[in-house]
């Protein structure tokens, strides 16, 4: 069984210390949802409740370890194969299934196209070999 860690329902990370400064900063930024569909005038946010779980459970839920408070030897990484970065064929070219390139054409109209494979994330994640400059 993994270490006991803390996370909220909407968080993407889990924390070893329930008083972690990064944990509270993230709550202040992302967990303030009072349920209003328009501009909120309540000024009374409802923070998600902290949940206690094992680091293995947190990793199975897709949460990443907090690099501020989780010691390296207790970090459990989620079992994800490339986070959706994989080659697919689009218009006869190998492209990343997840990444998109965005820009504005000469007429001022926005455009979105699939990113050619390998994307930067695939290289960083080690899904493809890095090219060594000569």
The confidence score (pLDDT) of residue 78 equals 63
> What is the residue extent of each domain of the chain?
4-74, 83-124
The confidence score (pLDDT) of residue 107 equals 92
User: For the whole prediction, is pTM greater than 0.85?
Assistant: no
Cβ-proximal residues to 49 (8 Å cutoff; 6+ apart), any chain:
8, 9
Cβ-proximal residues to 107 (8 Å cutoff; 6+ apart), any chain:
none
Nearest to 125 by CA among 85, 73, 76: 85
Cβ-proximal residues to 78 (8 Å cutoff; 6+ apart), any chain:
59, 60, 61, 62, 63, 64
pLDDT, block means (10 residues), the chain with 134 residues: 77 85 76 57 63 83 83 72 83 91 91 91 83 73
The confidence score (pLDDT) of residue 93 equals 92
């Amino acid at each position: 069984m993994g270490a006991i860690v803390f996370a909220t329902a909407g968080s993407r990370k889990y924390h070893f210390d329930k008083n972690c400064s990064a944990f509270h900063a993230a709550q202040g930024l992302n967990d303030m949802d009072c349920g209003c569909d328009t501009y909120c005038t309540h000024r009374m946010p409802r923070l998600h409740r902290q949940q206690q779980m094992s680091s293995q459970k947190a990793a199975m839920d897709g949460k990443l370890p907090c690099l501020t408070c989780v010691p390296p030897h207790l970090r459990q990484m989620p079992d994800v194969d490339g986070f959706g970065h994989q080659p697919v064929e689009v218009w006869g070219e190998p492209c990343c299934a997840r990444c998109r390139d965005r820009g504005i054409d000469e007429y001022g109209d926005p455009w979105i196209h699939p990113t050619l494979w390998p994307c930067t994330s695939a290289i960083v994640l080690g899904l493809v070999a890095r090219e060594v400059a000569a």
